[in-house]
């Protein structure tokens, strides 16, 4: 038996005692969820009897007709008025699309408000049609904690030969965070079956399983970040700030009393290294990098978007310490605070959930948000407390352009680096972003490859001259960003 999930039990207990008629528990861990429900039911006074129904077994009494959703609700309705009970309906969500079943559930909900009886729908997906939205309260079942995972692994690995080095056992538990107990058990058993012993290959298999799990969720993406601060040309101010903040993730910082850093917002022109900085941050901190596309949070059903936001937060916190990269946050919440109301307030509610968590979180989830258009950002996001710092990334200076050229030429022709005139190239690249400078080098490589020779400084100069940088096509936008930063709204990322 896993250790108690006290926070969840407290919330479930309060909802049951307060007389909420229908609760919707979003989880794929059916057995663990029912274990928690039974624990709450046993602790209530008077103790509540737990009934469990599914479409195959009904209530387990052999009556085939009770395997149908309509008769199942009939049974709930016919429970004696004085009986204290919790009725668990497994995978009931598809039937809510049936108007007759939805109406019947609403009738049952009205009846249960006057009784000590509660219906709990337990399902891996959140599907709540608008017709029953007012009658159902959604509860998110938390992923297992560090201690719960450690306890389960301890029982699972009892008697197994271990070749894990010092500290690797803790790394295995941390690697398992963000996964369900059943999935953890399966992947660890598979690793043991393959190796015959417990070694560090099990950790690699757990991490690969986690990538697959996140990919299936469709909300968070596990990014394999290989870039480091040395791959970023310039931005010395940002780099120094990150290196200082990295120290705060140590155990020594905990003993000193430093809180976990909240994160930073990177605002700047396209192609100036915001995404690269997010990846390098994860590498610097030596933690997983999770990428959030805000658009993936939005669902079509009532409460679905908010549930996805809470699920995203739960997964990120369960995987802590980690870097959560919110890519192009300005596009995800465009229009908030204006007269635009296109989704009945769903975006505003999701945004509210996100910024409240960012303000109050104490977990080691370091948020790196990137944005191109400051005017599209809701003012609430820029208030103190959401981020530790806001940085403006401008077009690179002369010295930064030289560093960027050196980084990209070293990657591709390290043995020929001295043959290139970096000073001349840096001068010619004035007004170009880092991405545009890299593209100029790639274009020059195509020229040299077509001519069956090595590309040269002259090739790069010609390719840069033939391209039109954003600094010319979007001059007004860049001037507006610079004016905003110059007004003291953000720190400059350059030294």
In the prediction, which pLDDT does 3 show? 42
Kindly tell me if the per-residue pLDDT of 301 is higher than 70. no
- Residues of the chain above pLDDT 70, percent: 93
The secondary structure of residue 479, as a DSSP letter, is H
Ramachandran sector of residue 487 (left: φ over 0; alpha: ψ -120 to 50; beta: rest): alpha
Q: Which residues, 6+ apart, have CB-to-CB distance to 253 below 8 Å? A: 247
Q: Does 398-473 match 6-140 at the fold level? A: no
In the prediction, which pLDDT does 343 show? 52
Instruction: Give, to the nearest 10 degrees, the angle between helix 30-43 and helix 6-17.
Output: 60
pLDDT, tens only, 7-16: 889 999 999 9
Model confidence at 1, pLDDT cuts 50, 70, 90, reads very low
Kindly tell me if the per-residue pLDDT of 17 is higher than 60. yes
Domain spans of the chain?
A: 6-140, 146-217, 229-393, 398-473
The model carries a pTM of: 0.69
pLDDT, tens only, 363-400: 889 999 999 888 778 888 888 778 999 999 999 999 99
Nearest to 118 by CA among 81, 87, 91: 87
Model confidence at 446, pLDDT cuts 50, 70, 90, reads very high
In the prediction, which pLDDT does 468 show? 93
Do 120 and 88 touch, CB atoms closer than 8 A? yes
Do 153 and 184 touch, CB atoms closer than 8 A? yes
Beta strands 289-292; 220-223: pairing state: antiparallel
Query: Which string of b and e fits 130-161 if b means at least 16 CB within 10 Å?
Result: eebeebbebbbbbbbbeebbbbbbeeebeeee
Model confidence at 28, pLDDT cuts 50, 70, 90, reads confident
Do 366 and 324 touch, CB atoms closer than 8 A? yes
Domain 229-393 has CATH 3.40.50.300: yes
Do 484 and 374 touch, CB atoms closer than 8 A? yes
pLDDT, tens only, 227-262: 889 899 989 999 999 999 888 877 688 788 888 889
In the prediction, which pLDDT does 391 show? 95
Beta strands 49-53; 289-292: pairing state: unpaired
Task: Extract long-range pairs of 359-364: CB within 8 Å, 24+ residues apart.
Answer: 359/385, 359/386, 361/262, 361/317, 362/259, 362/260, 363/260, 363/316, 363/317, 363/320, 364/249, 364/260, 364/287, 364/320, 364/321, 364/322
- Residues of the chain above pLDDT 90, percent: 46
The secondary structure of residue 125, as a DSSP letter, is S
In the prediction, which pLDDT does 73 show? 94
For the record, the structure tokens of 36 come out as 């928690």
pLDDT, tens only, 391-425: 999 999 999 999 999 999 999 999 999 999 999 99
The secondary structure of residue 485, as a DSSP letter, is I
pLDDT, tens only, 322-351: 899 998 888 877 655 543 444 557 778 888
Half-sphere exposure of 102 (CA within 13 A, CB side): 14
pLDDT, tens only, 203-213: 878 877 777 77
- Mean per-residue pLDDT for 51-73? 81
Q: How remote is the C-alpha of 279 from its chain's centroid? A: 15
Measure the CA–CA gap between 382 and 358, rounded to whole angstroms: 12
Do 350 and 297 touch, CB atoms closer than 8 A? yes
Nearest to 455 by CA among 442, 439, 436: 442
pLDDT, tens only, 256-281: 888 888 999 999 988 899 999 999 99
Fold exhibited by the domain 146-217: Helicase, Ruva Protein; domain 3 (1.10.8)
Measure the CA–CA gap between 466 and 475, rounded to whole angstroms: 18
CATH number, span 398-473: 1.10.8.60
Q: Which residues, 6+ apart, have CB-to-CB distance to 197 below 8 Å? A: 160, 161, 162, 163
Fold exhibited by the domain 6-140: Rossmann fold (3.40.50)
Measure the CA–CA gap between 476 and 481, rounded to whole angstroms: 9
Least confident span in 138-142, 175-179, 241-245, 303-307: 303-307
Kindly tell me if the per-residue pLDDT of 94 is higher than 80. yes
Mean pLDDT, the chain, integer: 86
Nearest to 267 by CA among 478, 74, 105: 478
Place of tokens 């010395």: 236
Do 90 and 122 touch, CB atoms closer than 8 A? yes
In the prediction, which pLDDT does 246 show? 86
Model confidence at 120, pLDDT cuts 50, 70, 90, reads very high
In the prediction, which pLDDT does 108 show? 95
Measure the CA–CA gap between 121 and 137, rounded to whole angstroms: 10
Place of tokens 């001349």: 424
Percentage helix, strand, coil, to 5, in the chain? 55, 15, 35
Strand partners, 407: none
In the prediction, which pLDDT does 4 show? 42
Measure the CA–CA gap between 308 and 138, rounded to whole angstroms: 12
In the prediction, which pLDDT does 338 show? 45
Task: Extract long-range pairs of 253-259: CB within 8 Å, 24+ residues apart.
Answer: 259/362
Ramachandran sector of residue 28 (left: φ over 0; alpha: ψ -120 to 50; beta: rest): alpha
Do 173 and 146 touch, CB atoms closer than 8 A? yes
In the prediction, which pLDDT does 255 show? 82
Nearest to 314 by CA among 349, 279, 290: 290
């Amino acid at each position: 038996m896993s250790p108690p999930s006290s926070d969840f039990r407290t919330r479930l207990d309060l909802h049951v005692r307060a007389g909420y008629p229908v609760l919707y528990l979003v989880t794929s861990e059916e057995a663990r969820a029912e274990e928690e429900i039974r624990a709450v039911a046993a602790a209530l006074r008077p103790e509540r009897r737990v009934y469990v129904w599914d479409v195959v077994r009904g209530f387990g009494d052999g009556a085939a007709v009770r395997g149908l959703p309509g008769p199942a609700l009939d049974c709930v309705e016919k429970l004696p008025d004085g009986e204290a009970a919790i009725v668990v309906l497994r995978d009931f969500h598809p039937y809510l699309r049936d108007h007759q079943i939805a109406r019947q559930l609403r009738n049952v909900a009205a009846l249960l408000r006057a009784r000590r009886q509660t219906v709990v729908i337990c399902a891996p997906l959140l599907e709540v049609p608008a017709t029953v939205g007012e009658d159902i309260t959604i509860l998110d079942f938390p992923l297992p904690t560090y201690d719960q995972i450690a306890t389960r692994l301890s029982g699972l690995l009892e008697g197994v030969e271990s070749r894990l080095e010092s500290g690797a056992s803790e790394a295995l538990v941390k690697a398992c965070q963000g996964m369900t107990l059943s999935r953890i058990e399966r992947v660890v058993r598979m690793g043991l079956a393959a190796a015959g012993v417990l070694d560090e290959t099990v950790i690699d298999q757990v991490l690969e399983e986690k990538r697959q799990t996140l990919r299936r969720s469709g909300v968070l993406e596990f990014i394999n970040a290989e870039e480091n601060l040395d791959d970023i040309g310039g931005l010395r101010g940002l780099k120094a700030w990150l290196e200082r903040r990295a120290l705060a993730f140590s155990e020594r910082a905990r003993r000193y009393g430093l809180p976990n850093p909240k994160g930073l917002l990177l605002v700047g022109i396209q192609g100036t290294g915001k995404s690269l900085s997010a990846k390098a941050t994860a590498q610097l901190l030596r933690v997983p990098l999770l990428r959030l596309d805000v658009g993936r949070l939005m669902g079509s059903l009532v409460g679905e978007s908010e549930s996805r936001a809470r699920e995203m937060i739960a997964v990120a916190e369960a995987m802590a310490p980690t870097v959560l990269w919110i890519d192009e946050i300005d596009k995800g919440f465009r229009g908030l605070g204006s007269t635009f109301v296109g989704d009945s307030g769903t975006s505003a509610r999701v945004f509210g959930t996100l910024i409240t968590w960012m303000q109050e979180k104490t977990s080691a989830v370091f948020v790196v948000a990137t944005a191109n258009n400051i005017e599209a950002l809701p003012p609430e996001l820029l208030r103190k407390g959401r981020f530790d710092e806001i940085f403006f990334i401008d077009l690179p200076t002369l010295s930064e352009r030289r560093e960027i050229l050196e980084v990209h030429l070293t990657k591709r022709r390290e043995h020929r680096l001295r043959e290139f005139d970096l000073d001349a190239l840096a001068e010619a690249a004035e007004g170009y972003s880092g991405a545009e400078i890299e593209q100029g080098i790639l274009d020059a490589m195509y020229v040299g490859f077509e001519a069956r020779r090595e590309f040269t400084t002259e090739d790069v100069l010609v390719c840069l001259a033939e391209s039109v940088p954003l600094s010319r096509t979007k001059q007004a936008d860049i001037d507006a960003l610079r004016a905003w930063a110059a007004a003291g709204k953000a720190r400059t990322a350059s030294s």
